[in-house]
Structure 1
Amino acid sequence: MKYPIAIEPGSDTQAWGVVVPDLPGCFSAADEGIDAAIDNAKEAITLWIETAIDEGQTIPGPSSITVLQSDPTYKGWIWAIVEVDPALIDDTIERINITLPRRILARIDARARQAGESRSGYIAHMALMQ
């Protein structure tokens, strides 16, 4: 997925501001220039989407950059596209094969039992907590 971002140019005394019009409240900034602003926007988009999924919200699709550019709110801003891995919002179940030492697997299983979860559920839960 490719989300358009609007970048407000910075200066020696002001950070570069970034807004993601398709994701309400999603924004970021950078002091180091436009490249850092784009990198920070990608991180903000990823976190916004992960949070929305965790809260059961739907993820808006990206709009046409041409349509967004016509909004007078962003007059004088620079436009760019940030690509987001579609796997980020894919809830398809996938079987995997991992290799772990038995002592670690025993710890995982014990903690999963304490949490009342399956091994897979526990591993997924722990990954989402990070």
Structure 2
Amino acid sequence: MQYPIAIYQQNNAYHVTVPDIESISVIDSSMAGAVSNTRMAVMSHLYHLIEEDLPIPQPSSVTEHLIKPKYAGYTWAIVSVELSRIMGKTVEVTLQLPSQLISQATEQFADESLDKIVLMALKSYVKNQSNG
């Protein structure tokens, strides 16, 4: 995932914000340090979201932000984050499940793919087993 970051210099420091993750703000004495620390902050934030099973914000394009007055005069860069480094590699699994169960699940979660339904159920099961 590639997140655009907005950078401005003030009082001999580089200030960075991530428009797609507004809670992230980084200040560093060098631009390289500011960009590097922002990348680490984004990775840490995404890791937390994954751990809490919260949605991951999708990155927008820089051009979406260039027209916003609050970013006038900012310098733009991109921080790239590989989700597989945070989540780990995926494993393909083949399952045989009763058709009635599949029908019930896809009916109850009509807006979700079957892969996501199974993943949610597995996460819930593992969480309940570790709590009990």
- Coarse TM-score class (shorter-chain normalised): 0.5 to 0.7
Give structure 1 regions of 4+ aligned residues with deviation exceeding 2 angstroms: 88-94
Measure, in 2, the Cα distance between the counterparts of 1:64 and 1:90.
26
Query: C-alpha distance in 2, partners of 1:5/1:90?
Result: 25
CA displacement at 1:36 relative to structure 2: 0.9
Per the TM alignment, residue 92 of structure 1 is displaced from its structure 2 partner at its CA by: 2.7
Find 1:21's aligned residue among 19, 22, 43.
19
Q: Secondary structure at the match of 1:9?
A: strand
The 5 A counterparts of 1:1-130 are 1-12=1-12, 15-31=13-29, 33-87=30-84, 88-89=86-87, 92-93=90-91
Q: CA RMSD in A?
A: 2.1
1-structure distance, mates of 2:18, 2:87: 17
Alpha-carbon distance between aligned partners in 2 of 1:4 and 1:27, rounded to the nearest angstrom: 13
Identity of aligned residues (%): 35
Shift of 1:72: 0.9
In structure 2, distance between residues paired with 1:2 and 1:38? 13
* Alpha-carbon shift at residue 11 of structure 1 (Å): 3.6
SS in 1 for 2:10: coil
Q: Which runs of 5+ in 2 are unaligned?
A: 93-125, 127-132
CA distance in 1, matches of 2:37, 2:10: 14
TM-score (norm 2): 0.62
CA distance in 2, matches of 1:51, 1:8: 27
Amino acid across the alignment from 1:30: D
- Secondary structure at 2:32's aligned position in 1? helix
Q: Distance in 1 between the 2:36 and 2:5 partners?
A: 11
Gapped runs of 5+ residues in structure 1? 95-120, 122-130
Q: Report how far residue 10 of structure 1 moved.
A: 3.3
1:59 & 1:89 partners in 2: Cα distance?
12
